Structure 1
């Protein structure tokens, strides 16, 4: 059963770098746990999380203090996540990046889910690890859970220039027998074990600020790459397939649900039923796709409002303006002026809550 649960082979990169930094022989160690370093050359390659968890346990015994968990996080780079990693780097804000990871978490592994949501003045990033049905044991080992949360914190710090500390970190795993100075020093905030959830709690206002690496043009390109990637690796999720078809057709007008169903080889009724089973509908996917593209286009000054209206499939600017006001609560011209003057308006993205 363990082999069923896997993660992207890109994790081999930070794992190998961490081993080198801690004077652990990478090739010998990876071979010991049946992990082929060459798998990293396959962008869609997978590695067994049972093997990965055993490797982490071994390396932590070699160096003590659970330092290996933290060293992997320190050596992580978003490019290890391929299309998702690039989409994270070009996101407008840290909140948008974390919500993006939550929405596309399946590209990383099939071992867990992730939810990013607001709670008062806090942003909660909750990591929901699946359990084996027979034993109830979490699919991911305590080392992997701790290291993944540390990796999210490292990514967050890199995106905002390093000046970010979590308010607290919560883990569902039992409290370790010995405190880890490496873990405490890295997180630099209260770390609580034996909790009901695995979560990172962040300051919401800081997460809404524009990130240094934000690039609207590249963001749009990366999101298109990500959706194409997801349509290949997760063929059970129709949302990705439908969104790709919508993006392809929008400049010629929004495609009808019947046309999309025909393109995918479904009857209209069958497509509606499958989407309902996934907790969504065609109208919501179309609206969310238009909104996401619009928020990318509106930040590109060379595109006029009328051009944006055309690109996202509206027959006239008046209809586009009404939709924009519904999405953001303001007119597109006002939003653009505010964005360009760097007095940005925070756009609420409810995709994470909708998937909960």
Structure 2
């Protein structure tokens, strides 16, 4: 028996907007595929991805040229992803935003994984789609894959003010026999079919530039909400549970692995084994949590360097400085100076209303 694959009900918003713009009846069309429009009102609601894929196939046949895939992407707004969408909007850079989507991909759906990584002067955003266990068929249809890649491109453009095109798009499925000018015009870059991966390839330098909506203080609040959400919906993933415990304890000092295991009702050996099965370890989770918190705090000028060090669990400033140099290759004060200098330049060029 196949597992139930689902996606966030927030996708109903861009889907219905796309249907309206293409003169399709949203209510009747959704009902044809047993999708309840009222699900969009539940922040944690889910819809069957098989039904969604069938809906995309139907709509594309009605409008032609895979136009529906692109129209859904054009109609997308980050708020459709609820807490994850707000965290993305307040991220420091496009790269950080896409890394955040990868980290919390389970919020969006349980149909695939997403990896965001650097390769030379490129930033690769790769969608790794799961397969049904009985048939080996991909859980996501080519239409859904193409629309999701287009949505990532639309999101990227929104975050940096529209002035960005991918270097290329890569798809595992074969090129359609239909001519698709709408798809080509939207991506505005080479599209490669029959590849080994589904991916959006971006210019790394552009992806590292500061995003217009970044707000480190607000972003940190959104991440805390996301961790609590993930600890509810994905109880099999210890990373979110452990990070939540670390965040609670850090201002009083970094909690030991044994302490966290006890709080989670696990033996130390059992915790270590479970983390190993997930390809990580406690030290890595602690280090990543400290780093992410530090980079959020250091962008807030009212917080002193020593205060930040204590808040992320270091007993003295020297240890904090050493850890920061390992993370970023420079001292905390130097990093803050560079950040604030960049901020002043952005504000000068793009003054806020």
Q: TM-score range by the shorter chain?
A: over 0.9
> Post-superposition shift, 1:276?
1.0
Correspondence for 2:72 = 72
> Post-superposition shift, 1:193?
1.5
SS class of match (1:125): strand
Structure 1's 315 and 3: CA in aligned 2 closer, same or farther, altered over 3 A? closer
SS class of match (1:342): helix
For residues 92 and 220 of structure 1, the distance between their equivalents in structure 2, rounded to whole angstroms, comes to: 11
> Post-superposition shift, 1:87?
1.0
Using the size of structure 1 for normalisation, the TM-score is 0.94
Matches within 5 A, 1:1-356: 1=1, 4-342=4-342
Q: Which runs of 4+ in 1 moved over 4 A?
A: none
> Post-superposition shift, 1:314?
1.0
| 1:310–1:316 contact (8 Å) kept in structure 2 | yes
> Post-superposition shift, 1:135?
2.3
| 2:2–2:134 contact (8 Å) kept in structure 1 | no
For residues 194 and 309 of structure 1, the distance between their equivalents in structure 2, rounded to whole angstroms, comes to: 49
Q: Spell out, residue by residue over 1:155-210, the C-alpha distance to the aligned partner (whole angstroms, 9 max, x if none).
A: 00000000000111111112111121110110011112121111111111100111
Unmatched 5+ residue regions in structure 2?
345-353
Q: Spell out, residue by residue over 1:103-135, the C-alpha distance to the aligned partner (whole angstroms, 9 max, x if none).
A: 111111111111111111111111111112232
| 2:2–2:132 contact (8 Å) kept in structure 1 | no
| 1:66–1:183 contact (8 Å) kept in structure 2 | yes
| 1:321–1:332 contact (8 Å) kept in structure 2 | yes
For residues 31 and 291 of structure 1, the distance between their equivalents in structure 2, rounded to whole angstroms, comes to: 46
For residues 59 and 291 of structure 1, the distance between their equivalents in structure 2, rounded to whole angstroms, comes to: 45
For residues 244 and 29 of structure 2, the distance between their equivalents in structure 1, rounded to whole angstroms, comes to: 41
For residues 81 and 323 of structure 1, the distance between their equivalents in structure 2, rounded to whole angstroms, comes to: 33
Q: Spell out, residue by residue over 1:47-92, the C-alpha distance to the aligned partner (whole angstroms, 9 max, x if none).
A: 1011000000111111111111001000101111111111111111
Correspondence for 1:352 = none
> Post-superposition shift, 1:3?
6.5
> Post-superposition shift, 1:343?
8.0
For residues 283 and 140 of structure 1, the distance between their equivalents in structure 2, rounded to whole angstroms, comes to: 35
> Post-superposition shift, 1:215?
0.7
| 1:130–1:139 contact (8 Å) kept in structure 2 | yes
For residues 334 and 91 of structure 2, the distance between their equivalents in structure 1, rounded to whole angstroms, comes to: 21
Q: Spell out, residue by residue over 1:269-294, the C-alpha distance to the aligned partner (whole angstroms, 9 max, x if none).
A: 11111111111111111111111000
> Post-superposition shift, 1:226?
1.1
| 2:99–2:116 contact (8 Å) kept in structure 1 | yes
For residues 128 and 49 of structure 1, the distance between their equivalents in structure 2, rounded to whole angstroms, comes to: 15
Q: Spell out, residue by residue over 1:327-347, the C-alpha distance to the aligned partner (whole angstroms, 9 max, x if none).
A: 111111111111111189xxx
For residues 180 and 257 of structure 1, the distance between their equivalents in structure 2, rounded to whole angstroms, comes to: 54
Using the size of structure 2 for normalisation, the TM-score is 0.95
| 2:2–2:133 contact (8 Å) kept in structure 1 | no
Q: Spell out, residue by residue over 1:286-335, the C-alpha distance to the aligned partner (whole angstroms, 9 max, x if none).
A: 11111100000000000001111111111111111111111111111111
